[in-house]
Amino acid sequence: MNTPATSAAPQPLPLPPHARASLDLAARRADAAAAAFRHCSVADRCRLLELISFHIDAAREAVAASARAELNADAPVVAMEHEGVLQQLRAFAAVLRRSHWLGAAIETAPPEQRVQNIALGPVAVLGAGHACAAPVYAAAAADVIAALAAGCPVVVRSSATHPRTCELLAGAIAAAVQAAGLPEGVYGLVADHAGSAAALVTHPDIKAATYAGLRAEGMELMRRSLDRSEPVPVLLDIASSNPVFILPHALNARAEHLGQQLLKQFSPCTAHGMFKPGIVVAIEGDGYIDLRETIIDGVLAMPPVALPCAGAQHGHAQSVARLLRERNVDLLAESGAAAAGGPASEARAVFVEAEASSLLTTPTLAERHPGPSALLLRCACPEELLAVAALLGRQLVAGMQMADGDTALAARLMPQLERMARHVNVNSFTSMPIYNGATAAQAIARFLRPVFYLDVPSSLLPAALQDGNPLQLWRQVDGEMRH
């Protein structure tokens, strides 16, 4: 069951002339920088990532102060994102140095054919849609770093919720680009206007785009790309319900702990937003009762959660209202109302409950539950839990909690999690993707395309494919890895 969009994407308003001119300049600069950046050495790109890390780290305090002023972001949230960005930069640099991402391969049998991955070209990083919370470090997000590592100039759409913070990060990255001796068009930041995402996707100098947000908005951007004379890939991360399946032995052994950890994912929404668990699936029994009681007590004790923007607050309110209109959904617990005079963006935490069989009659229950809200699905038996997994559509994250006695059921559930999700977690509530060598290599690959060379003289080939292996890379030659 794919989760349908609840409404069509609104048509973007025309860009103001000054915004269109700024966007056009950034795209043209990116295009002008593309050839030189694609051909710069791996060492030069690693140097750029190291300089970005240095300049972002130098801006740590200014970014934290700006995020506090614009988003009311807690210091631990900002610190977590800061360290995450530095870790990403290290991981991508390590992958670059190994050069496996080039995919250099040679077949010597006539006609001789060689292949290597090259950068797609200028990438528009559109970030989070207005109904989703953008991370503090949106201007230096993983897609930005991955595209730069691949050799793609980037044009990043700022976030309307924290433009000053984005400008600080963009300034740090621009300083790194300048210090690396690279063209200024390698990185550009444009303001977030209602029509800026559509304008970037349709700009002739943009060769790919990334977007994280609601399905309707993402599909509209894909349609606009297909309407171009030269369609380009739009890489989507669609917001989802991110289910967590709690298997029986784990539930009986640590129900109270699991309930507490689930509620921790409600806050801070700025950091977790798109990756927060929105559906919890468990089998009825003593452990289920303990989990349920822990959730009720925890939600009732929770203060209102400050959401980072009006769009996120509106999406949360709409989702909760839709759930509570369903006759087969019961309100489990709702936190106290915001204090008089408190921020308008504060939202009450809400947990609702339904029988797993309700998914058959009410498929909208499987939709995303944004903000501090979630659905607890009660299953009668393991077979019903597996049936729920089979019904759920594509997810960003899916997880399971298991103990030693759950191995057999976990083995049956795992193929369903692999089918539905990009990220699969076991015994972890880690919401944000963690970038290491393997995941960084996959992220870089999104911004590359293969080029096949047939009987091309060695002198005209990229250095990675030339006779004599001047770069001393590991290459696949006639099906075998050789150095």
Residues 418 and 470 in one domain: no
In a domain? residue 312 = yes
Residues 229 and 310 in one domain: no
Q: What pLDDT is stored for residue 317 in this prediction? A: 84
Residues 418 and 444 in one domain: no
In a domain? residue 216 = yes
Residues 414 and 477 in one domain: no
Task: Give residue 316's Cα distance to chain centre.
Answer: 19
Residues 67 and 184 in one domain: yes
In a domain? residue 10 = no
CB hemisphere CA count around 110 (13 angstroms): 0
pLDDT band at residue 360 under the 50/70/90 scheme: confident
pLDDT band at residue 11 under the 50/70/90 scheme: low
Q: How many helices (H) and strands (E) does the chain have?
A: 16, 19
Residues 142-168: what's their mean pLDDT? Answer: 96
- Between strands 123-128 and 208-213, the pairing is parallel
Residues 193 and 68 in one domain: yes
Last residue of a domain, one of 426, 442, 472: 426
Is the confidence at residue 5, as pLDDT, over 50? no
Residues 165 and 299 in one domain: no
CATH of residue 376: 3.40.309.10
What is the spatial distance between Cα 307 and Cα 270, in angstroms, rounded to a whole number?
7
Kindly report, residue by residue over 453-479, the tens digit of the pLDDT. 999 999 999 999 999 999 999 999 999
Number of domains observed in the structure of the chain = 2
Report residue 334 as tokens: 């709702």
Residues 219 and 270 in one domain: no
This prediction has a pTM of 0.89
In a domain? residue 316 = yes
- The phi-psi region of residue 354 (left if phi > 0; otherwise alpha if psi is between -120 and 50; otherwise beta) is beta
Residues 5-21: what's their mean pLDDT? Answer: 69
List CB contacts of 168: < 8 A, sequence separation 6 or more.
59, 62, 63, 66
Residues 147 and 289 in one domain: no
Q: What pLDDT is stored for residue 133 in this prediction? A: 63
What is the spatial distance between Cα 483 and Cα 468, in angstroms, rounded to a whole number?
10
Last residue of a domain, one of 390, 410, 426: 426
Task: Give the mean pLDDT of the chain.
Answer: 90
In a domain? residue 263 = yes
CB 50 within 8 A of CB 88: no
Last residue of a domain, one of 426, 455, 474: 426
Is the confidence at residue 209, as pLDDT, over 50? yes
- Between strands 346-347 and 305-306, the pairing is antiparallel
Residues 302 and 369 in one domain: yes
Residues 72-100: what's their mean pLDDT? Answer: 90
- Alpha-carbon distances, residue 165 vs 135, 171, 311, 376 (angstroms): 11, 10, 19, 36
What is the spatial distance between Cα 294 and Cα 281, in angstroms, rounded to a whole number?
15
Residues 260 and 396 in one domain: yes
In a domain? residue 62 = yes
Q: What pLDDT is stored for residue 343 in this prediction? A: 56
Q: What pLDDT is stored for residue 342 in this prediction? A: 54
Domain that holds residue 312: 244-426
Of 37-51, 188-202, 334-348, 384-398, minimum mean pLDDT range? 334-348
Sheet containing strand 279-283, edge to edge, reads: 330-334, 350-355, 373-379, 279-283, 244-246, 395-401, 421-426
What is the spatial distance between Cα 321 and Cα 315, in angstroms, rounded to a whole number?
10
pLDDT band at residue 313 under the 50/70/90 scheme: confident
pLDDT band at residue 344 under the 50/70/90 scheme: low
Element (H, E) at 251: helix 248-264
Residues 337-353: what's their mean pLDDT? Answer: 73
CB 388 within 8 A of CB 237: no
Kindly report, residue by residue over 379-433, the tens digit of the pLDDT. 999 999 999 999 999 999 999 999 999 999 999 999 999 999 989 999 988 666 6
CATH of residue 105: 3.40.605.10
In a domain? residue 7 = no
In a domain? residue 404 = yes
Kindly report, residue by residue over 248-262, the tens digit of the pLDDT. 999 999 999 999 999
Residues 341 and 477 in one domain: no
